[in-house]
Amino acid sequence: MLASSHPAASLRVFGALLLGIGLAGYLLPAPPVHWTALIPAGLGLIALSAAWLPRKPALLAGFGICAIALFGGGSALPLLPMLVSGEAGAAVASRAVTALVALGGLVALGLPLIRRRSVA
């Protein structure tokens, strides 16, 4: 499903996941929660909007959104052991999950390109 020639399906799944991460990161922890917890949700809305672009602009937008999400959340990946042991908070969890979803988005957007080149 995610490996179609047009990145629309990948962008929709990626966007929905980011939207969910952002909303959960803002609504689930006890107040006060900073508005920056909604950044993944904003990226998710952009990804959902990019799904309706033509193929090449959608791919570029998808890779750009993945890069931004990975740069923003990637610093939390080394903290995954602390997160699993319960020593890290909701902000670290949100950033780490955002980075993992961004890595998955890069794979979902890149695999069809690699397959297409190997066939041609």
**What is the pLDDT at residue 96?**
96
**What is the pLDDT at residue 4?**
52
Residues in the chain where the model's pLDDT stays below 50: 1-3
**What is the pLDDT at residue 120?**
58
For tokens 């996941």, the residue is 17
H, E, C per residue of 57-113: HHHHHHHHHHHHHHHHHHHHHHHHHHHHCCCCCHHHHHHHHHHHHHHHHHHHHHHHH
Enumerate the domain spans of the chain. 8-119
CA distance linking residue 104 with residue 101, whole number of Å? 5
